[in-house]
Amino acid sequence: MRHLIAALCVALMGAPAAAQDLGAPVVSSQSKQAKQVFGAFGGGSGHKAEPYGSYAKGCLAGGVQLAETGPTWQAMRLSRNRNWGHPEVIDFIEKLSAKAARQPGWNGLYIGDISQPRGGPMLSGHRSHQIGLDVDIWMLPGRQMNLTRKGRENISSISMQRSKGAFVNDLWTRAHHEIIKAAAQDRRTARIFVFPGAKVQMCKDETGNRAWLRKVRPWFGHHYHFHVRLSCPRGARGCVDQAAPPPGDGCADAQEWVNNILNPPPPDPNAPPPKPRRELTMADLPEQCAATAQSQ
């Protein structure tokens, strides 16, 4: 009899519908690679929108999809299905793109990756973008606001960098400065990542209030797009903010990045070897992510 009950339990637990009805996490799934789980969803979870965890270790419940086409934006690379985010990031994109459309030569923004439908780690690409609060915005001025699906796959952004990121190239314009400034001035923005040469250029060109520059942080890559990271939305108790950037405009720090690009310091012989990165499992993510994964 006990065997029969055990077999019945296994059968029930093994059936996805039954597991969802019970709302109980399937124990064996704790060891599953989180990217395999979250990389497989086609749509969002049926919950209230809520980010769980941190930018590089978490998930997104109740994600909403950015419309493929808006009056002042285009979601690019639709085949990736990464135009999902927290409603705050969707609203942010709508408002920023309207401002971008007022810049000379721009009719709006081309939007790259936000998050997967339920956030979480991805099978390829980013480490962050896991909680629906990060968005990549193309440097290529958005001109055409009626691209086809195919057009959105085939068009490429443009690089703004020269000398490995130490400087901007001649495709950089004041419009880029103004759009990144507007993004930084949104109260919801925590950080913007862009290549060091762009930050230094903006430090030189800004003659007014410099407070917004604090949020613009030099980082590797980020010359085909800039990356906006929003703070945890008000009341999102499961969402983990990053520490605020150090006080000040960060311009000296960006200049140091540039100096290191131009004159790389010799490698430190005592530096410990980089730790190999372990794949995140479901057990590494906040426990709400299991429910986010199980919802219909």
Residues of this chain that bind Zn ion (CB under 5 A) = 136, 227
Q: How many CB atoms lie within 10 A of CB 192?
A: 24
Q: Which is nearer to Zn ion, 118 or 291 (CB)?
A: 118
Q: Which is nearer to Zn ion, 82 or 152 (CB)?
A: 82
Q: Which is nearer to Zn ion, 50 or 134 (CB)?
A: 134
Q: Which is nearer to Zn ion, 157 or 295 (CB)?
A: 157
- Identify residue 29 by its one-letter amino acid code: S
Tokens of 44: 């969002």
Nearest residue to Zn ion, by Cβ distance, number only = 227
CB of 229 to Zn ion, least distance (A): 8
Q: Which is nearer to Zn ion, 152 or 225 (CB)?
A: 225
Q: Which is nearer to Zn ion, 92 or 290 (CB)?
A: 92
DSSP track, the chain = -HHHHHHHHHHHHHSHHHHHHHTPPPGGGGGSBHHHHHTT-SS--SS--EEEEETTEEEEES-EEPPSEETTEEE--GGG---EE-HHHHHHHHHHHHHHTTSTT-SBEEE---B-TT----SSS-SS--SS-EEEEESS-B--S---HHHHHH------EEGGGTEE-TT--HHHHHHHHHHHHSTTEEEEEE-HHHHHHHHHH--S--GGGGGEEE-SS-SSEEEEEEPPPTT-TTB-PPPPPPSS--HHHHHHHHHHHHSPPPP-TTPPPPPPPPPPBGGGS-THHHHHHH--
Q: Which is nearer to Zn ion, 50 or 136 (CB)?
A: 136
Q: Are 294 and 41 in contact (CB under 8 A)?
A: no
Q: Are 50 and 277 in contact (CB under 8 A)?
A: no
Q: Which is nearer to Zn ion, 217 or 227 (CB)?
A: 227
